[in-house]
Structure 1
Amino acid sequence: MERNRFLGEFLRARREATPVEQAGLARVGHRRTPGLRREEVAVLAGISTDYYSRLEQGRERNPSDQVLGALARVMCLDAEAVEYLHALAHPLPKGCRVVEHREQAAPTLLRVLRGWTRTPGFIIDRWMNMLATNRLADALYAGLECNDNLIRLVFLNPEAVHFYADWEKTAYLKAAHIRTVAAMGPQDPLLSQLVEELAEHSEEFRRLQTQRDLRPRTTDTKRFRHRLAGELAFEYDFYTARSAPGQQLVLMQVEPGSTSELGLATLWALADPDANVIRLAQTPEPVPPAEAEAVTAAVTAAVSGLSDRG
């Protein structure tokens, strides 16, 4: 099965990336394997080498939670990687998957985004569709074709090579994300459509899809070349909510006193002062400011009236 291959590839990648010292072993002599050997993982996890080899080769379909927990401990996986490991081993049945064309941003994440006003922030779904953006994120991505989906932006917009100062790294991470989503939901029709579109129009995407790394990093630094704000470097942080599986809140920060902080001031100047603080995907045109003020006044009066009666 396809998911067994993804599980095996993930285990192999993490095994080779785990230093022997981190696993509590001494490094003795020359080692052909970059990280741990299969037999070392098996011993430390309390399973047979043959059983672990079958896992990596995709021939073992039903590892128990106890085995997965032992492997996660040996490979020092963080909480997100552990969750991903379990999802690879025990995905939802095909009939349990409900895929909508466009999700709505989770209220929990929206509440945080509404308070994030000094630097760009946005909410994406598992396919990296933009679900909600604040003013500065709007200003950062304004004018770029395909900016409603970050993966399509990277691979299908020729301007992306200039916009992303580290385009190769960005493209690699986006392709890794695609493989991650594919591993967790191989029957996802929207993912299939996205992959087909990318494979048809992007040679770089086809090349990167042959790589076997699956999990992109959850923290990152990205550098942009904005046509008006110049060079910008942002530290990214990603947050999730249990109420919205697959959605991520992305918050960006600049180093105080850096040239990026000066560029951020330019983004502030470019941001539309009359735009909503949060722009949601596929919403009607923004309400004119005068009308918005009238609605706000009416709501305030109504709330005040309820308070008086209380």
Structure 2
Amino acid sequence: MSKRDLGDFLRSRREARTPAAAGLPAGPRRRTPGLRREEVAVLAGVSANYYERLEQARGPHPSPQVLDALARALGLSGAEREHVARLAEHAPARSEPPEELPTSVRRLLERLGSVPAYVLNAHHDVLAWNSAAAALLVDFAALPARERNILRLSMAGGPLVCEPSDGFVRQAASELRQASARYPADRRLGQLVRDFAAHSPEFAAHWREQELGVGEAVPKRIRHPRLGLVELEIQELHVPGHDHRVVLLTAEPGSASAAKLDALQSGPRLRAVP
């Protein structure tokens, strides 16, 4: 990861930080969006010249103590603090995400029964799924392995797994930026970002904003060929020690979508990954 990446991220967070949020008066003739560099320097207890050099990729990698002070000054979230630590090379980076899926996670998918669920990695590849997820979304087993990717399915416009929304692409930009910091040498991640940015101007805009930690999972709206529109709530369980997450799809109890999920169980069942 380059100094330019660190400088660009610091600048984006400075421009997004309002004087009021930092406890500073707005003052007259403020042309800079967010905070001025000098204000960040004062809040962090560093010289204005030092901070300017960081943003311009001309300074040394900051120490963990300086990073902590900058994080407080910029009001960084936990996800943003972790991200900036990786950019400053204070966190280990691996070449690519691990693909191996623990057997216990596969057993969990099977035991979820009628609850549609699947497992994603940092690439948004679908590594495993249960039969309920296949019946609701798409028969992943019928797709070539390289096409079992939530983002590429949304770009292809073929067997869509959800209706695209601004919340969806905003969350994707946040997740891919964090993954790119964890795996800076991963070419697949870089290509996925470029392809999605070319496909979606909204994604490209969110990618430039460098926003992280966008909040709770975005609800999904599924257009099912038999059930019609199904509105789903998302829960994600992160697998300890792995860069995988189990995505569970449910519906509000008593809703029309919940009834449709119940009806799904009486339809044809598709095979899950072994």
- Relative to the length of structure 2, the TM-score reads 0.77
1:222 to 200, 220, 223: 220
State the SS of the aligned residue for 1:269. coil
Listed one character per residue, the Cα deviations across residues 205-264 of structure 1 (whole Å, up to 9, x for unaligned) are 5884474133363522232222222222233343434411x3223233422333322232
For 1:263, the equivalent position in structure 2 comes to 260
Is residue 120–residue 127 contact of structure 2 (8 Å, CA) maintained in 1? Answer: yes
Q: 5 Å matches for 1:37-116?
A: 37-90=36-89, 97-99=94-96, 103-106=99-102, 113=109, 116=112
Tell me how far apart the structure 1 counterparts of residues 42 and 99 of structure 2 sit (CA, whole Å): 44
The 8 Å contact of residues 176 and 213 in structure 1, kept in 2 or not, is answered as: no
Q: Secondary structure at the match of 1:87?
A: helix
* 2:170 is the alignment partner of 1:181: no
Q: What's the CA shift string for 1:125-173, capped at 9, x where partnerless? A: 111111222333222222476761112112123454xx63344543454
Give the C-alpha shift of residue 72 in structure 1.
Answer: 2.2
1:153-192 counterparts in 2 under 5 A? Answer: 153-158=153-158, 160=160, 164-192=162-190
Q: CA deviation at 1:25?
A: 3.1
- In 2, the alpha carbon distance for the partners of 1:120 and 1:208 equals 27
> Which residue of 115, 124, 132 corresponds with 1:136?
132
* 1:17 matched to 2:16: yes
Distance 1:24 1:116 in 2: 48
TM-score by length of 1: 0.69
Q: Who wins on radius of gyration, i.e. which is larger? A: 1
Describe the SS at the equivalent of 2:168. Answer: helix
Over the matched positions of the two proteins, sequence identity in percent amounts to 34
The offset of 1:110, in angstroms, is 5.1
One-letter identity of the residue aligned with 1:138: A
Find the aligned partners of 1:134 and 1:31 in 2 and give their Cα distance.
55
Count of residue correspondences: 267
Cα distance in 2, alignment partners of residues 107 and 48 from structure 1 = 52
State how 1:207-218 maps to structure 2 within 5 Å.
Answer: 208-209=203-204, 211-214=207-210, 215=212, 217-218=214-215
Evaluate the alpha carbon distance shift between residue 116 and residue 208 of structure 1 in structure 2; reply closer, same or farther with a 3 A threshold: same
| Structure 2: segments with no counterpart, 5+ residues | none
C-alpha distance after superposition, 1:49-102 (max 9, x if no partner): 222222223333411111222222233333333222211221778xx74547x7
Question: Which position in structure 2 is the counterpart of 1:238?
Answer: 236
1:61, 1:122 → 2: CA distance? 43
SS state at 1:35 partner: coil
CA distance in 2, matches of 1:230, 1:91: 49
Q: Which amino acid in structure 1 is aligned with residue 66 of structure 2? A: V
Distance 1:61 1:270 in 2: 61
RMSD: 3.5
Given that 2:7 and 2:54 are in contact with CA atoms closer than 8 Å, whether structure 1 keeps it comes out as: yes
Shift of 1:26: 4.1
